[in-house]
Amino acid sequence: MKALYDRCGGMLLEDVIPFWLRHAPDPEHGGFLHHLDREGGVFSTDKGVWIQCRAVWMFSKLYNTVERRAEWLQAAASGWDFINKHAYDMDGRRFFLLTRSGGPLRKRRYVFSEAFCAVAGAEYARASGDENAMQRARAAFGTLLRHYENPLVSEAKFRPETRPMRPLAMPMILLATSLEMTGNDDDPIYQVTAERCAGEILRFFFKPEIPALLEYVSSGGGLIDAPVGRLVNPGHALETACFILREAERGGNDSLSRAACDIIDWTLEAGWDEKHGGLFAFIDAGGFPCEQLEWDMKLWWPHAEAMCALLQAARMTGIERYNMWLEKVSEYAMSHFPDPEHGEWFGYLHRDGSVANSMKGGLWKGPFHVPRALLMLSTASDEARNFRAAGGRNKQRIGGAGSRF
Amino acid sequence: MKALYDRCGGMLLEDVIPFWLRHAPDPEHGGFLHHLDREGGVFSTDKGVWIQCRAVWMFSKLYNTVERRAEWLQAAASGWDFINKHAYDMDGRRFFLLTRSGGPLRKRRYVFSEAFCAVAGAEYARASGDENAMQRARAAFGTLLRHYENPLVSEAKFRPETRPMRPLAMPMILLATSLEMTGNDDDPIYQVTAERCAGEILRFFFKPEIPALLEYVSSGGGLIDAPVGRLVNPGHALETACFILREAERGGNDSLSRAACDIIDWTLEAGWDEKHGGLFAFIDAGGFPCEQLEWDMKLWWPHAEAMCALLQAARMTGIERYNMWLEKVSEYAMSHFPDPEHGEWFGYLHRDGSVANSMKGGLWKGPFHVPRALLMLSTASDEARNFRAAGGRNKQRIGGAGSRF
């Protein structure tokens, strides 16, 4: 594994981060131009708020945990300023998409922009010492939490009076955000919320009888006999498992950690393509056709998430199976996604592993999943050493270099 | 071509229509169960309003133009009753998705349910003699027209104050609906609207300088330099060309017909996959990566639309190129989409032509594009004979067996 970890470190610092620093910063308006073709050319100047926030988080995290490089802090500052100037609507919510100069293009029902704004602000505050950024992060977290308690009816895709549904994405994102905030702020609300979200994920979405971690259940946690109710998103399931493992580690909760390992086992069993290798984008837990046309495509981010979850599981449990899977998934990812010619990873492969879309960045792909996974893996040797030296899982520090949002 | 036309007729009456009659009618609640797996098994009982309406149109059309079979009228009646009982919201708009028993699941911003309801009612009225169905069809057309004149702000995907956009889909669907209504109702509004929509499509979306028929332009018809502004949907472009050809034929307008042929030429040039054959689902007119993950998949409906458009172009212009393309597209479609084992067509192929998703029916695929195209082609020999006998394009009857919605 040492060779893998070293390869990840090199790829992070000599390929992926330089790719983004070379092509993404917008010298004219600040923030990041992230719709990049294979060579790094800009094919759209629209600016996604998710990507702006995630880039701020990533560059701040590198600055906080790898090295205090001025160019990383400068990139983070530019993105953070752009968000603050342009991403807020008058109702306090954040937009989803902006023009290059910051004009509002789209706002969505979901509060994910708020979640990414919270972690960006908290990590940037640590990097810059800007207390105002921390306050904005707390405010964004508050919006997210209020929205979780009182979801708007308008948010529902299906009419709640006919099909009341509970989406996995909400407790997952709140869990991830809470865990990340615990590393940067003292308020006990983050730990309380993380514990609550992990509990709710297991109570509602964790279905050993299928077995699967489902994307949508009825409001009481019952199965919905429709494609939406049978939907499994292997990337989501694996990142959720990783967040639950981190919460298990934080709270010293072994039953949480066993459940997270179940999720990993089920998801790899059902989501791994035995024919061509790689993880499917979507599967139907009942074995029926998926409505998602891209169901059998191999996307970059589920593979990055799988690597993080497997590393975390291997480290916490010592079970050899997770090391084997980490090697298998990494081997697939490293031999299919990186572009040796122009840098970074391709994002979208056909089922057979050939490149379906050569873009390096778009509405969903920015400097986030790939560098985050590479950072986590590149520090895995140190982490394991620290872990052993500290005497086990319950004394692990929170928010270290390998910490994940 | 005779062999192709005969094959289409056989496939329509011995394979495709029997497949739907065998699997789709819901004996319990009426209407159609249309989420069908490869064998015809129901994998979701949700009922899409588009498909209910389109099925009513198709079975009525068969009854009106092929043969007065009681089972076709009965299927149409069952669907029409289901729509009338369940598809109307209190504001007069139609829902998009219902439960099996008719409970409302989703309503969408777009008024396409209304468009399909109008043509279903008009064709069903002709089949059944039910004057109430014609009245409902007129009312639905009225809603569609009002919506076209005064689109709701809430309808816009992008904020109109920042990026005012005009979608091709609206005049296209209104043109198609108007043309279909001219065959079943005397009101001059349909001809006026068809002429106006064809004109607006050419004025705003027809771009010889690219060359392409674009999916979205600015409100004044200007180019939008963003992925959405460069988007070409070959299936949409070809069906639009077919509708414009029909309007050209109705109004005796040669310049319209020349423009439609340009659209066909541009779209086949840019949208045909030289490597594997077949039409791409989406292309970027600037040659940049498409945001749509399924961009290079081969979908059933663009091929069905292409066959209709090419037949219409060949018939109206006599240009041999359109016959050649009709043969080429039909050869691809007939050798890739039909499922000889379980009937009907597959809907979703990978770029290389292998089946990506084995479903026979879903939210977008029902008894519509395939049987409509097969019906049009199967009657092509008769049509051509009638056409010549009538002395040319301007005297063609409207709304005959080969008429397309």
b/e for B168-200, b at 16 or more Cβ within 10 A? bebbbbbbbbbbbbbbbbeeebbbebbbebbbb
> Cβ B99–A163 below 8 Å, yes or no?
yes
Question: Each residue of A136-149: pLDDT tens digit?
Answer: 999 999 999 998 98
> Cβ B293–A357 below 8 Å, yes or no?
yes
Task: Give A158's contacts in chain B (Cβ within 8 Å).
Answer: 97, 105-106
Residue % of chain B over a pLDDT of 90:
85
Mean pLDDT value of segment B198-227: 97
pLDDT given at position A390: 58
**Does the pLDDT of residue A128 top 80, yes or no?**
yes
Nearest CA-CA partner of A51 in A109, A141, A132, A120:
A120
- Higher-pLDDT residue of B282 and A107 is B282
**Which element (helix H / strand E) includes B2?**
helix B2-11
Q: Which of B34, B36, B44, B299 has the highest number of chain A CBs within 10 A, making it the mutation to test binding with A? A: B44
> Cβ A106–B227 below 8 Å, yes or no?
no
Spatial neighbors of B215 by CB under 8 A, at least 6 apart, are B167, B168, B169, B205, B228, B231, B232, B233, B236
- Assessment of whether the complete model's pTM goes beyond 0.90: yes
Sheet holding B355-357, edge to edge: B298-299, B348-349, B355-357
Measured between CA atoms, the residue of chain B closest to residue A348 is B293
Torsions phi, psi for B325 (to 5 deg): -65, -35
**Does the pLDDT of residue B158 top 70, yes or no?**
yes
pLDDT given at position B151: 75
Contact present, A120 and A57 (Cβ < 8 Å): yes
Work out the pLDDT band at B384, boundaries 50, 70, 90. low
CA A257 to each of CA A209, A244, A390: distance values in angstroms, whole numbers, following the listed order: 19, 7, 19
3-class SS of residue B169: helix
Work out the pLDDT band at A397, boundaries 50, 70, 90. very low
Give B345's DSSP letter.
Answer: B
Give the pairing of strands B35-36 and B348-349. Answer: unpaired
Which of A107, A289, A296 lies closest to B37 in CB terms? A289
Mean pLDDT value of segment A372-392: 74
Residue % of chain B over a pLDDT of 70:
93
Q: Which of A288, A342, A346, A358 has the highest number of chain B CBs within 10 A, making it the mutation to test binding with B? A: A288
Question: What does the alpha-carbon distance between residue A99 and residue A122 come to, in Å, rounded to a whole number?
Answer: 25
Gap from A288 CA to chain B (nearest CA, Å): 7
ipTM of the complex: 0.91
Helices A380-389, A2-11: axis angle to 10 degrees equals 130
Q: Which of A162, A231, A363 has the highest number of chain B CBs within 10 A, making it the mutation to test binding with B? A: A162
3-class SS of residue B339: coil
Residue type, A23: H
Name the token pair of A139: 């405010």
Which of A46, A99, A358 lies closest to B289 in CB terms? A358
Torsions phi, psi for B178 (to 5 deg): -60, -45
Question: What does the alpha-carbon distance between residue B281 and residue A356 come to, in Å, rounded to a whole number?
Answer: 13
Question: Each residue of B104-135: pLDDT tens digit?
Answer: 999 887 789 999 999 999 999 999 999 999 99
Name the token pair of A166: 């509970």
Task: Give A286's contacts in chain B (Cβ within 8 Å).
Answer: 43
DSSP A303-366: HHHHHHHHHHHHHHH--HHHHHHHHHHHHHHHHHSB-TTT-SB--EE-TTS-EEE--SB-SS-S
Work out the pLDDT band at A384, boundaries 50, 70, 90. low
The helix/strand count (H/E) of chain A reads as 15, 14
Task: Give A363's contacts in chain B (Cβ within 8 Å).
Answer: 291
3-class SS of residue A105: strand
Task: Give A38's contacts in chain B (Cβ within 8 Å).
Answer: 289
Q: Is B98 left (phi over 0), alpha (psi -120 to 50) or beta?
A: beta
> Cβ A356–B357 below 8 Å, yes or no?
no
Residue % of chain A over a pLDDT of 70:
93
Counting every residue, how long is chain A? Answer: 405
**Does the pLDDT of residue A393 top 70, yes or no?**
no
pLDDT given at position A404: 34
Question: What does the alpha-carbon distance between residue B137 and residue A160 come to, in Å, rounded to a whole number?
Answer: 30
3-class SS of residue B275: coil
Task: Give B348's contacts in chain A (Cβ within 8 Å).
Answer: 293
Helices A254-271, A234-251: axis angle to 10 degrees equals 160
**Does the pLDDT of residue A132 top 50, yes or no?**
yes
Q: Is A93 left (phi over 0), alpha (psi -120 to 50) or beta?
A: beta
**How many other C-beta atoms lie within 10 A of the C-beta of residue B282?**
23
CA B278 to each of CA B119, B275, B328, B352: distance values in angstroms, whole numbers, following the listed order: 30, 9, 9, 9
Name the token pair of B164: 């005012």
Mean pLDDT of chain A: 93
pLDDT given at position A153: 54
CA B322 to each of CA B307, B317, B386, B401: distance values in angstroms, whole numbers, following the listed order: 10, 9, 20, 21
Contact present, A120 and A59 (Cβ < 8 Å): no
Contact present, A7 and A16 (Cβ < 8 Å): no
Counting every residue, how long is chain B? Answer: 405
**Does the pLDDT of residue B170 top 80, yes or no?**
yes
Give B292's DSSP letter.
Answer: -
First and final C-alpha spacing in chain A: 23
The helix/strand count (H/E) of chain B reads as 15, 14
**Does the pLDDT of residue B1 top 90, yes or no?**
no
CA A165 from chain centre, in angstroms, equals 23
pLDDT given at position B97: 96
Gap from B189 CA to chain A (nearest CA, Å): 36
Which of B162, B225, B350 lies closest to A350 in CB terms? B350
CA B15 from chain centre, in angstroms, equals 21
